[in-house]
Amino acid sequence: MGDRIRARRELRGWSIRHAASRAGISHTTWSRIERGLQRTDRYMVVDLAAALECSVVDLTGQPYTPADRQLEGARIEAERVWRVMMAHPFGGPPVVGVGAANVGQVAREAALVRDLYGRCDYAGALRRLVDLLPTLHKVTDQRAAYQLMLPVYGVAMGSLLNIGYPAHAWLAAERCAEAADLLDDPVAVGVAAANRARVAAHTGAYGAARAYCDRAGLDLEGSDAETALDVLGFLHLARAHHLAGLKDQIAAEDHLDEATRIAAHTGETTSWDLAWGPSNVALWRMAYQLDTGRPHEALLTAGGVAVTELPAVRQVYFWLDMARAMVAAERERDAVRMLSTAERVGPQHTRSSAAAREIARGLLRQGLVSTDLRGLCERMGVTG
């Protein structure tokens, strides 16, 4: 990332002092980032991209050249899923080919795809989505079709985002929103808003992300609909993340506290594939503490995360955050162990992660002698 930042700055013809002033950081900090001596959190990357007038993805460098066959397959399927989504807009011409689809069969395939995503098998999920998405548009019971489309397009969004295709993921999030609007269900609209916000925040558009969640949250306040509290609580978590990106920590912590209260009431649930509950709230709070420079607090919060109760796709985030915390605590060998655990739980996710790659590269440049680290870097395609 430091090399990309330097290349962008030099392309502009700017000095380090000028670029740093645009980002609101010291020139020594900017210099250390360029040289790979200082890591950046997700919020600082947004500031650096804004200063250099480029996208976050321009600096993180995703999608990466894969170092294994599964990721190569995921990239191929990502392009195929993109073409399928483009070919099947809502309100478009009738689907040509086989006739009406059986709702039961489609529902079973949708459940399989969601399970693959939960296990971090993005290549497998995307491969099946190529056929499933067109089939969903052939279901004659339109309400049943829209109810299935919401989680299925959510899987498409999450898979594409996690392997480094934010533009493709945005189209999937838009398809979620279209299905939710047609259902005319505020809970479904809330889920779709969370998906839209996730992609927006990934690219640094925290203001837009917060607006999506604010509107959906207002519609859910006081709702007695089943699972409304689960979705409302998740929207509070998302808004805490967005507000932290907007440098409003007081408001962010208010939303975290509200999410904590809701989770204590609902307990652990599995509705809408949110893995909502106290464990997920602790997971988000831990990430928030890391992103706001409190790694020791994050390590204490980690004790409240019931990791084994979370699906693999959530567990990976936990172990990657643990790696970040260990680096901040100068426990480099423990950081390698956490990265290795994340890779074991979700290899495709970890090897595509900008955070994982930057942690591994930083440890390598520090001269850490570790067979596990060198093996991990080789599988990620990372060099010092």
DSSP state of 222: T
In the predicted model, residues of the chain with pLDDT beneath 70 are: 42, 57, 61-68, 92-100, 384
Angle 138-143-148 (CA atoms, 0-180°, nearest 5)? 70
- Cβ-defined contacts of 211-218 (< 8 Å, 24+): 213/238, 213/239, 213/242, 214/239, 216/186, 216/189, 216/190, 216/192, 217/190
Tell me the CA distances in angstroms from 299 to 34, 72, 305, 353, one per residue in order: 28, 35, 10, 21
pLDDT of the residue at 283: 94
Element (H, E) at 230: helix 228-245
pLDDT of the residue at 98: 44
Tens of pLDDT, residue by residue over 208-234, are 999 999 999 999 998 989 899 999 999
Task: Give the torsion sign (CA, 230, 231, 236, 238).
Answer: positive
pLDDT of the residue at 251: 97
Separation of alpha carbons 302 and 53, rounded Å? 36
pLDDT of the residue at 90: 83
At 139, phi and psi to the nearest 5?
-70, 125
Q: Domains plus CATH for the chain?
A: 1-61 (1.10.260.40), 64-184 (no CATH), 202-295 (no CATH), 311-384 (no CATH)
Tell me the CA distances in angstroms from 98 to 90, 102, 109, 139, 229, one per residue in order: 18, 11, 17, 11, 40
pLDDT of the residue at 55: 72
Q: What is the mean pLDDT of the chain?
A: 89
Label residues 336-373 b or e (16+ Cβ within 10 Å = b).
Answer: bbbbbbbbebbbbbbbbbbbbbbbbbbbbeeebebeeb
pLDDT of the residue at 369: 78
pLDDT of the residue at 72: 82
**What is the identity of the amino acid at 205?**
A
- Cβ-defined contacts of 362-370 (< 8 Å, 24+): 362/36, 362/39, 362/327, 363/327, 363/332, 363/335, 363/336, 365/36, 365/37, 366/332, 368/332, 368/333, 368/336, 370/333, 370/336
